[in-house]
Amino acid sequence: MYAPKNIKGKKKGSGLSQMVWGCFIGNKLGPLVFIDETVKKEVYIQLLEQNLLPFIDLLHENGIHNVVFQQDNASPHSSPVTQVWLKTAAQQHGFTLMKFPPNSPDLNPIEHLWFKVKAELYRQYLNTIYLKGLGKAIRQELHNCLNKIW
């Protein structure tokens, strides 16, 4: 999620990376979630339970019912366990699952949103390339910046 131009590592070739998950429908943004562990199917399902489902329920409360969930074909997303969980969640929470063709990032609208978020991070917080300190402190500062942009 963090563009290399926004982060300056201590060693040549080193850098800081951060996995980020988010969702949206129209102009409604769901939560921005920072993931600090390897995303396996169990982690991904827990992330969806804690963030996607409450967002969808809130959308329904606000009269938005034509919710379509699209994700890419990453292994945790396409695992049989995740697919079964998603089908059950879709029935219980009233949303549609979109089939997504492999190797089609240009068809995934969230990729365009990530591009804009990264561009805004660089535009609004150019100083992030000069952040110093431990990785945890740098991540926290970047989390703050990204949450403001989101």
pLDDT at 19: 86
pTM of the model: 0.79
pLDDT at 23: 93
Instruction: Residue 63: give its domain's CATH number.
Output: 3.30.420.10
pLDDT at 103: 67
Q: Structural domain tally of the chain?
A: 1
Tokens of 85: 């969980």
pLDDT at 12: 46
3-state secondary structure the chain: CCCHHHCCCCCCCCCCCCEEECCEECCEECCCEEECCCCCHHHHHHHHHHHHHHHHHHHHHCCCCCCEECCCCCHHHHCHHHHHHHHHHHHHHCCEECCCCCCCHHHCHHHHHHHHHHHHHHHHCHHHHHCCCCHHHHHHHHHHHHHHHC
Low-confidence ranges of the chain (pLDDT < 50): 1-2, 6-13
Q: Provide the residue range defining the domain that includes 63.
A: 4-149
